[in-house]
Amino acid sequence: MRFEPRPNPSRIMILMSPVIAIALTSIVAMALFALAGQNPLEALIIFLTAPLADLYGFGELLIKAAPLVLIGVGLAIGFRAGIWNVGAEGQLTVGVIFAGYVALKFGPAGGWWVLPLMVIAGAVGGVFWAAIPALLRVKFNASEILVSLMLNYVAALWLSWLIFGLWRDPAGFNFPQSEPLAPDALFPILIADTRANVSVLFALGAVVAGWLFMNRSFAGFQLKVTGLSEGAARYAGFGVSRAVWIGMLASGAAAGIAGVGEIAGPLAQIFPTASPGYGYAAIIVAFLGRLHPVGILLSGLLMALLYLSGDVAQMSLGMPSSITGLLQSTLLFFLLTTDVFIQYRIRFQSSNRQGAAT
Amino acid sequence: MPHTISPHIEHRLELRGIRKAYPAVVANDRIDLCVRPGEIHAVVGENGAGKSTLMKIIYGMVPPDSGELLWDGREVSIASPADAQKLGIGMVFQHFALFDTLSVAENIALALPGRPPIEPLSRGINEVAARYGLPIEPERHIYTMSVGERQRVEIIRALLQNPRLLILDEPTSVLTPQAVETLFVTLRQIAAEGCSILYISHKLNEIRDLCHTATILRGGRVTGMCDPRQESPASMARMMIGADLPSFRHRGDTLAGKTRLSVSGLTLPTQDPFGTALGDISFAVRGGEILGIAGVSGNGQQELLGALSGETPLSNADAITIDGKPAGHRDPAGRRRLGLCSVPEDRLKQGSVPSLPLLENVLLTANRNGAIRAGLIRFDRVKAYAERCIQAFDVRTPGAQAQAGSLSGGNLQKFIIGREILQEPGVLIVSQPTWGVDVGAALIIRQALLDLRDRGAAIVVISEELDELFEISDKIAVIAGGRLTAAIPIAEANRDAIGIAMSGQSAGDEPDERASKELAHAL
């Protein structure tokens, strides 16, 4: 048995690869349920459908999917150009800090402008945090992967410092949390009787804008070329530096706005852990969605479902909710494995006659 | 190194019905080939005809799907290059496999079985070198050597193993005309001692000069056998491409106008330890004129192209002017706006993005004149441009949606050159316009360059193919060691002098004083 390069990348596998990866992940999930003493198939069905049993659950799905999709689209812009921003978590956190400042400072006095200002501040915060690895990459050729990853921890510590100190709620019984945000600093509810708020629209807007940018704009084309062929990009005069800036800052802005959605959403308060790992999960979302905005929309919904299912696992199946992280990573693992078959196929026997000579 | 000629065995190597299929293409199909002892046997064909695959099968690098290999009349299976070497097959590759930072003897020791100690090996190298007139110093480092000298190392490496069959893959593509002559003397001597030689080439004149027999491949099959000494290049070309060569409209008189591209005092240090620094290059090209730049590869051609196209912007804006406007500091896009287009040497790594469709490849350079509106791509216009290019330059492809990488080398090159020419550049810089391109496509490309010249463009062609430069250039200059000789009209140029200039100034194949003296004499 050996791997043989395909003459052309398989179009079927590009689309089938996520489907196969999801199927394999389901098998792993069932094995885990069986080990925990559950009926595997029943547990899987409960695991995947229980969260969506009612409208409220559907709203929860949207509110969880929104940041994943938003960040995923932002990351995809950079990933297509070969710019590997793994710092979305930190950019989200700094977005929280910037927007949090606006909310705490101006929220109580009120005004319609507080929320838009928070969104802008969040975007600026994300952009600022993403600009650090971008600058170091452009000036000193420092790996944006390492720098952006390390900055995640720096950002988390900044936020902790604020929440444990300056921003701690005096009436909060010494819990590490901020004052509750004022109503003017919260996103309005979009669907009645759910917690789904306007941040869902940001995600949808990102899908449309991302599609337009990646597939129709010249700047998006330049980024794509930079990612596919450094030589062709240099020949055409598409600067790598420009690609680094656009790729990093677009994802930084998206992550920062997603951070606003976190504090201005159901939580309505700022906690030291700004997100349940959305910045990392969005990397999986981006790849699972084939770096295509519509694909990212679908994969974001799936990943959000896994988050909700984790709670179900804890409550009805008697399993720890960390099964969410486990299955998310399993999904990425299988996806990367099946992606190999886009460029390669397996030959079991090097026979004398080759049938595939087309 | 005694080579035994066995008179009873008629064929040293015989191939019967060799077939090798790859996923997308049948590279070899029912190939029969016989090589006699002491015979120089040419394997001729266009790029993609299956020559390289066949040689890799003989050398044990690729297993055939079916067919038989007979060595001295006995059927053998060659599973690896080591097997081939044991039988007595040596190979000199087109792209050398030498370590730059090691000496000649160290490189050779690495390739020989048992890793022989350097001292006695050096004596062996000197013996072989003296015997075949291949002067080489065993302790010299590879990076100090010219391409011709590196090839010598490869040949000596093969000869040290007492081969009874030597395979040479396009050995002259990197040599000056003089170095080719020297190589042929050596090869004739090797053959006279009984060693068979398989000589892969597409240069028909050389094959007529050197070879006793020729097997011609087309599309993976044998389409003819001949004695090249009895054939004309035209008759062999017919067997090679399967049709008469398209006629070539000869270039008219020079109608040079005013200077469109001027380069003065272009100096560029190199970042790459094995790169070539450009030293004080100056030339000017007028409208309606083609300047050919000859040279052995690795003498600064890539660096020069980068400096001219704008990939390596210069600090001195006035070092390059386009239609009188300073352009040295501009990037490729900025120079295109001034009317300078360029075609890089490597069509798959630079000239195109193989995984993108042709119509998107248009956008790499042809992205002005309404192709973009408000930052958005107007795909209808881009598609129309791609289709115009496909039609005007006879690009064989299913359509503008086909991936660039799915096109044959010649068709992709026609597309890339067409993409640049359709922008009607005032100045066009082309590197290796017909490298690895089939004969038919090469003719179309040269004709297109001449037509553009007749429309008043200034064209610079950087090429290693002297024949090509003599065919289309109005003036010719030579780049060697990062320096450019003065350009002389093609009518006054002489091949020998050009050849000497190609080798002369670098640490080249000819002694320096002699070369520069002859150069001074000739130019």
**CA–CA gap between residue A177 and residue A171 (Å, rounded):** 10
Q: Is the per-residue pLDDT at B508 higher than 50?
A: no
Instruction: For residue A125, give how far its alpha carbon lies from the nearest alpha carbon of chain B (Å).
Output: 26
Question: What pLDDT sits at residue A355?
Answer: 38
Q: Is the per-residue pLDDT at B515 higher than 50?
A: no
Banded model confidence at residue B423, pLDDT cuts 50, 70, 90: very high
Instruction: For residue B19, give how far its alpha carbon lies from the nearest alpha carbon of chain A (Å).
Output: 9
Query: Residue B320: how many CA atoms within 13 Å on its side-chain side?
Result: 28
What mean pLDDT is reported for chain B?
85
CATH 3.40.50.300 fits B259-352+407-492, yes or no: yes
Q: Is the per-residue pLDDT at B309 higher than 70?
A: yes
Are the CB atoms for B59 and B78 separated by under 8 Å?
yes
Q: Is the per-residue pLDDT at A297 higher than 80?
A: yes
Q: Is A356 on the interface with B (CB under 8 A)?
A: yes
Which of chain A's residues have a Cβ under 8 Å away from the Cβ of B367?
218
Banded model confidence at residue B519, pLDDT cuts 50, 70, 90: very low
Instruction: Report pLDDT digits (tens) over B154-177.
Output: 888 888 888 999 999 888 876 778
Instruction: Report pLDDT digits (tens) over B177-206.
Output: 888 888 899 899 999 999 999 998 878 888
Asked if the Cβ–Cβ distance from B350 to A231 is below 8 Å, we say yes
Which of chain A's residues have a Cβ under 8 Å away from the Cβ of B310?
237
pTM value is 0.79
- Return the closest-CA partner of residue B64 out of B113, B103, B109, B31: B31
Are the CB atoms for B15 and B58 separated by under 8 Å?
yes
- Return the closest-CA partner of residue A115 out of A208, A204, A197: A197
Q: Is the per-residue pLDDT at B512 higher than 60?
A: no
Which of chain B's residues have a Cβ under 8 Å away from the Cβ of A8?
24, 403, 406
Instruction: For residue B26, give how far its alpha carbon lies from the nearest alpha carbon of chain A (Å).
Output: 7
Asked if the Cβ–Cβ distance from A231 to B372 is below 8 Å, we say no
Instruction: For residue A353, give how far its alpha carbon lies from the nearest alpha carbon of chain B (Å).
Output: 7
Contacts of A47 (CB under 8 A, 6+ apart): A29, A33, A309, A312, A313, A317
- Domains B13-241 and B259-352+407-492 are alike in CATH topology: yes
What interhelical angle do A240-263 and A114-140 show, nearest 10? 150
Residues A306-330 have a mean pLDDT of 85
Which of chain B's residues have a Cβ under 8 Å away from the Cβ of A219?
375
Residue type, B373: R
**CA–CA gap between residue B25 and residue B19 (Å, rounded):** 11
Q: Is the per-residue pLDDT at B273 higher than 80?
A: no
Instruction: Report pLDDT digits (tens) over B72-119.
Output: 989 999 998 889 988 999 998 877 778 888 999 999 998 887 788 888
Q: How are beta strands B340-343 and B427-431 bridged, if at all? A: parallel
- Written as six digits, the tokens of A244 are 């680094």
Domain limits, chain B: 13-241, 259-352+407-492
Rounded (10°) CA dihedral A159, A160, A165, A171: 100
Q: Provide the greatest CA pair distance for chain A.
A: 81
Q: Is the per-residue pLDDT at A313 higher than 90?
A: no
Nearest CA in chain A to B345: A235
β-sheet with B13-21: strand ranges across: B26-35, B13-21, B66-71, B74-76
Residues B409-419 have a mean pLDDT of 90
Beta bridge partners, B342, equal B429
Q: What DSSP state is assigned to residue B349?
A: I
Residues of A (229-288) whose Cβ lies below 8 Å from B: 229, 231-232, 234-237, 239
Residues B19-25 have a mean pLDDT of 81
CATH topology for B13-241 is Rossmann fold (3.40.50)
Higher pLDDT, B134 or A210: A210
What is the phi/psi pair of residue A133, to 5°?
-60, -35
Are the CB atoms for A321 and A307 separated by under 8 Å?
no
Residues A152-179 have a mean pLDDT of 88
- Written as six digits, the tokens of A157 are 């510590």
Q: Provide the number of CB pairs (under 8 Å) joining chain A to chain B.
A: 86
Residues B264-290 have a mean pLDDT of 87
Question: What pLDDT sits at residue B506?
Answer: 39
Banded model confidence at residue B255, pLDDT cuts 50, 70, 90: low
Choose from A235, A350, A353 for mutation: most chain B CBs within 10 A.
A235
Question: What pLDDT sits at residue B247?
Answer: 62
Asked if the Cβ–Cβ distance from A7 to B333 is below 8 Å, we say no
The neighbour count for residue B246, using CB atoms within 10 Å, is: 13
Instruction: For residue B348, give how far its alpha carbon lies from the nearest alpha carbon of chain A (Å).
Output: 8
Overall CATH class of domain A2-347: mainly alpha
Choose from A223, A229, A230, A343 for mutation: most chain B CBs within 10 A.
A229
Q: Is the per-residue pLDDT at A71 higher than 50?
A: yes
Asked if the Cβ–Cβ distance from A218 to B375 is below 8 Å, we say yes
Asked if the Cβ–Cβ distance from A218 to B311 is below 8 Å, we say no
Q: Is A6 on the interface with B (CB under 8 A)?
A: yes
Q: Is the per-residue pLDDT at B5 higher than 70?
A: no
pLDDT above 90 as % of chain B = 44
CA A169 to chain centre: 30
- Return the closest-CA partner of residue A288 out of A226, A224, A333: A333
Instruction: For residue B273, give how far its alpha carbon lies from the nearest alpha carbon of chain A (Å).
Output: 20
Residues B429-456 have a mean pLDDT of 87
Question: What pLDDT sits at residue B504?
Answer: 57
- Written as six digits, the tokens of A318 are 């008697």
**CA–CA gap between residue B277 and residue B273 (Å, rounded):** 10
Higher pLDDT, A153 or A165: A153
What is the phi/psi pair of residue A176, to 5°?
-75, 90
**CA–CA gap between residue A102 and residue A87 (Å, rounded):** 23
Choose from A3, A226, A234, A350 for mutation: most chain B CBs within 10 A.
A234
Are the CB atoms for B507 and B174 separated by under 8 Å?
no
Q: Is the per-residue pLDDT at B4 higher than 60?
A: no
Domain limits, chain A: 2-347
Are the CB atoms for A62 and A52 separated by under 8 Å?
no
Write down the ipTM of this complex.
0.80
| A5, A235, A352 ranked by CB distance to B344: nearest | A235
**CA–CA gap between residue B6 and residue A107 (Å, rounded):** 100
Q: What would the DSSP string read from start to end of B30-75? A: EEEEEE-TT-EEEEE--TTSSHHHHHHHHTTSS--SEEEEEETTEE
Banded model confidence at residue B9, pLDDT cuts 50, 70, 90: low
Banded model confidence at residue A240, pLDDT cuts 50, 70, 90: confident
**CA–CA gap between residue B310 and residue A54 (Å, rounded):** 61
The neighbour count for residue B68, using CB atoms within 10 Å, is: 14
Q: Is B356 on the interface with A (CB under 8 A)?
A: yes
Banded model confidence at residue A200, pLDDT cuts 50, 70, 90: very high
C-alpha angle A96-A101-A102 in degrees, rounded to nearest 5 = 105
Asked if the Cβ–Cβ distance from A217 to B364 is below 8 Å, we say no
Are the CB atoms for B426 and B339 separated by under 8 Å?
yes
Question: What pLDDT sits at residue B503?
Answer: 73
Instruction: Report pLDDT digits (tens) over B56-74.
Output: 999 998 899 999 999 998 9
Q: Is the per-residue pLDDT at A108 higher than 50?
A: yes
Residues B327-345 have a mean pLDDT of 92
Question: Of the ranges A44-53, B7-16, B332-341, B486-495, which one carries the lowest mean pLDDT score?
Answer: B7-16
Which of chain A's residues have a Cβ under 8 Å away from the Cβ of B344?
231, 235
Which of chain A's residues have a Cβ under 8 Å away from the Cβ of B352?
232
**CA–CA gap between residue A199 and residue A268 (Å, rounded):** 13
Instruction: Report pLDDT digits (tens) over A269-286.
Output: 888 887 888 999 999 999
| B334, B351, B363 ranked by CB distance to A235: nearest | B351
Instruction: For residue A346, give how far its alpha carbon lies from the nearest alpha carbon of chain B (Å).
Output: 12
**CA–CA gap between residue A222 and residue A117 (Å, rounded):** 32
Question: What pLDDT sits at residue B245?
Answer: 65
Q: Is the per-residue pLDDT at A127 higher than 50?
A: yes
Question: Locate tokens 């229980």: which residue?
Answer: A50
Q: Is B312 on the interface with A (CB under 8 A)?
A: no
- Written as six digits, the tokens of A139 are 């000036």
